[in-house]
Amino acid sequence: MIALSRADVRRFRLAARRCAPNGRSRGPAPPVRLTADGGTVTLAANLGEVVIALRTTPPRPSNGSLTLPLTELEQLEGTGPGVVTLARAGRSAATARWEDGPAPRTASIECLTCELAWPEEPAHLIAMSPTFPAALHEAGRSAAREGTRYAGHRVQVRGKAGQLVGTDGKQALVHGGFTFPFTDDLLVPAVPVFGSKDLSTEQAVSVGLVDDWLFLVVGPWHVWLAVDRDGRFPDVVGAVPRACGIRVEFDDRDADTLMHSLRDLPGAREDCQPVTLDLGPLVAVRARDERTGEVGEVPLAHTQFAGGPVRLVLNRAHLGRALALGFREFRCRAPDQPVVARAGERLYLTASLDPSGAVPPAGDALASALPPTTTVSPAMPSPETPRSPTMPARDNPLPERNGRAGSPADSIDLLVEAEALRNALGEAVNRAARLVAALRVYRKERRALASAFSSLRQLNLGP
């Protein structure tokens, strides 16, 4: 008989579901092996490329072994201190008993005959920082959803360099400062289980390598990740620009405001969700909805920059994620080059979008032909943020006469000239409006393709 805490059954099932790539399990339910030997009970699920196990103390003395589908655990789980017991009832079934309410409950559970090979534990483990599971999770979040020519759906574990790397070809995250018990570069599945509360809060973390499995011990959890020996991974570190003349450093107050305002800026449904980081007299992030022409702006009064003025067009999801990860300093060589952010042993790289898609402020040339700009109210305003002064319009300079009085030949009909000038300016505005409208249509058609090619060309993720 095997006795289990119903709360342990629940947290194990939820963690096992997050061991599938992208959190989605395909095919038949994976097998779960339950083994008990006196004072320890182990639940282990084999998902092919990932094996996860939870070792815990049973509420009652237990012995035996059972293998059942993961889906069968759902009816046995609970959130309280309840206990469930399982006893074999023939070769292909087991009987489960537990208390749920005023009366005990009984259920027949399907048992499996599993032919899968379960990995061993390595003989040598090395202690890791408690931040390692979270770093592995964030690297997995940066990975591609599907593999193509490169194994971008994997996480690269750089043994000698002590780094974790994840990339989808448009963004990349490098987290260093680790020491591994091997020097090879390994490719392992990118799975979201390391971001779960049960694993991310554990302080005791160890790592080892056994055969073709990377083995992790995170508190009572054991996780095996299959090593992909045949996959090719892009050279992310080699793609990081070395000399960057453009630098911007976000103030924490501006970063908080921007993170809460990005999702409310216009154009969130556009391809690549572009936003313009304007490093000029007024540092701001600006975005436009190409369908309605609405423009939104978030002023960044405390943010400093060097190497400008310049406008960078970025994917708002990438910018928001970098800020959420704690990156504050961003560098770039040119508006059409990748943007790199550094913070200690961490590095975040994102491809910039087509610079021609930059959204200018309302005072720029041709701005009179564009719809008026609306400012997005920050979700978390800073009381120290001063109001942005309105830039005065330049007056038309007077004609230069070098100190000489005008002659009768210089006299003109001012009313006629003023009327002619007004008509010319009106025609110029109309032509500018038609040009801008045509450019919008043209730009929208080519932006997705141009951004995709620009991203691949910038990152230069070649072999």
pLDDT in tens, the chain (463 residues): 899 999 999 999 999 999 987 656 667 889 999 999 878 999 999 999 999 999 999 888 889 999 999 999 998 887 777 899 999 988 889 999 988 777 788 999 989 887 778 999 999 999 999 999 999 999 999 999 887 888 999 999 999 999 999 999 999 999 999 999 999 999 999 999 999 989 988 999 999 999 999 999 999 999 999 999 999 999 999 889 888 999 999 999 999 999 999 999 999 888 889 999 999 988 999 999 988 989 999 999 999 999 979 999 999 999 999 999 999 999 999 999 999 999 999 999 999 999 999 999 876 644 434 444 444 444 433 334 333 333 333 333 434 433 334 444 444 556 556 666 776 777 777 777 777 777 776 666 666 556 656 665 666 655 5
The count of C-alpha atoms lying within 13 angstroms of the C-alpha of 51, restricted to the half-sphere facing its C-beta, is 22
The CA distance from 276 to 394, in Å, is: 25
The count of C-alpha atoms lying within 13 angstroms of the C-alpha of 240, restricted to the half-sphere facing its C-beta, is 17
Homologous superfamily, domain 126-238: DNA Polymerase III, subunit A, domain 2 (3.10.150.10)
Cβ-Cβ contacts under 8 Å for 12 (sequence gap 6 or more):
43, 45, 54, 73
The CA distance from 235 to 463, in Å, is: 7
2-110 topology per CATH? DNA Polymerase III; Chain A, domain 2 (3.10.150)
Q: If you compute the radius of gyration of the chain from its CA atoms, what whole number of angstroms results?
A: 31
- Tokens read off for 83: 């206990």
φ, ψ of residue 316 in degrees (nearest 5): -65, -30
- Distances in Å between the Cα of 161 and the Cα atoms of 30, 285, 421 are 35, 36, 67
For residue 387, the model assigns a pLDDT of 35
Global confidence as pTM: 0.77
Q: Judge whether 196 and 18 are in contact, CB under 8 Å.
A: yes
For residue 364, the model assigns a pLDDT of 60
Q: Hey, what's the torsion of the CAs at 324, 330, 332, 338, to 10 degrees? A: -20
The CA distance from 400 to 59, in Å, is: 96
Q: Judge whether 338 and 457 are in contact, CB under 8 Å.
A: no
List of E strands, 159-283: 163-167, 171-175, 185-189, 205-210, 213-218, 221-226, 246-249, 274-279
Closest CA to 278 of 303, 255, 245: 303
For residue 350, the model assigns a pLDDT of 95
Domains 126-238 and 240-367 belong to one CATH topology: yes
For residue 120, the model assigns a pLDDT of 93
240-367 topology per CATH? DNA Polymerase III; Chain A, domain 2 (3.10.150)
Cβ-Cβ contacts under 8 Å for 102 (sequence gap 6 or more):
none
Cβ-Cβ contacts under 8 Å for 115 (sequence gap 6 or more):
none
Give CA angle at 169 (166, 175), nearest 5°: 25
**Domain locations in the chain?**
2-110, 126-238, 240-367
- Tokens read off for 33: 């092996």
Q: Where are the alpha helices (DSSP H) in 294-384?
A: 316-324
For residue 427, the model assigns a pLDDT of 72
φ, ψ of residue 54 in degrees (nearest 5): -125, 125
